[in-house]
Amino acid sequence: MAYWRQSPPQMQAAADQAAVAHAPVKTSKPRSRMMRQYDLVERVRSYNPNTNEDLLNRAYVYAMKAHGSQTRASGDPYFSHPLEVAAILTDLKLDDATIVAALLHDTIEDTEATRAEIDQIFGHEIGALVDGLTKLKRLELVSREAKQAENLRKLLLAIADDVRVLLVKLADRLHNMRTLEFVPPASRQRIAEETLDIYAPLAGRMGMQEMREELEDLSFRTLDPEAYSVVKHRLDALAERNRNLIGEIESQLSKTFVRTA
């Protein structure tokens, strides 16, 4: 969307996204190695021996070329983001089309790629998934002005004709939350609130409790770092204190069973 066609709230949202892509590099943490083509194929092959390797390879190369020299706020190549989103989805053992859509999910919005081109190269099914993700991204820009979390959740569910669109969107948000430290503080606060209000509950409603818990945990750490630190310290201490508890219970139960046998 062109800047001159945007309302002030939309311009701010677009500026936030630009900040994520172009903010100065932080050097406090080393960059992780970017997943290679064969790494991605092997991750998918581990649960789907009949995966379409050619399709995955073509999507990898297409997305890498489309994003070109774009970078994230961390200084990493922007292409590392769709790769990590795809990796999250391989942990959920999703199909080839979903993995490919994850690799391509920002291409229509952020590069010169078009829906027609993606349809032509990858087929209508994948084109529809990528187009659905593009619509969700534009919906976010509009919804921030109203700040109606429940309405947005309903819109997200209504606009996603294919549940795989929402799965990619949730994986996209999860990776963005994992790298939130590189985002400017003002945007960081807004993104964490949005995640807590919208995306974490949505993950829960879709039965992905582990993802919901991680989204809530990352949001809490950003919104109230002092409280987060206190709670984490107490939980770590409790876990350490009870570290051998399960083993002791198992041992006592085993002895009881032996005596009564």
Q: Which residues are catalytic?
A: 109-110
For 85, the token pair is 């989103």
Q: Are 179 and 112 in contact (CB under 8 A)?
A: no
| Cα separation, 186 vs 207, whole angstroms | 31
The CB density around residue 239, as the number of other CB atoms within 10 Å, is 10
Q: Are 59 and 36 in contact (CB under 8 A)?
A: no
Q: Which DSSP state fits 52?
A: -
Q: Are 138 and 1 in contact (CB under 8 A)?
A: yes
Handedness of CA 215, 220, 221, 227 (dihedral sign): negative
For 77, the token pair is 């190549």
Q: What is the dihedral of CA 103, 106, 107, 110, to 10 degrees?
A: -150
The CB density around residue 17, as the number of other CB atoms within 10 Å, is 18
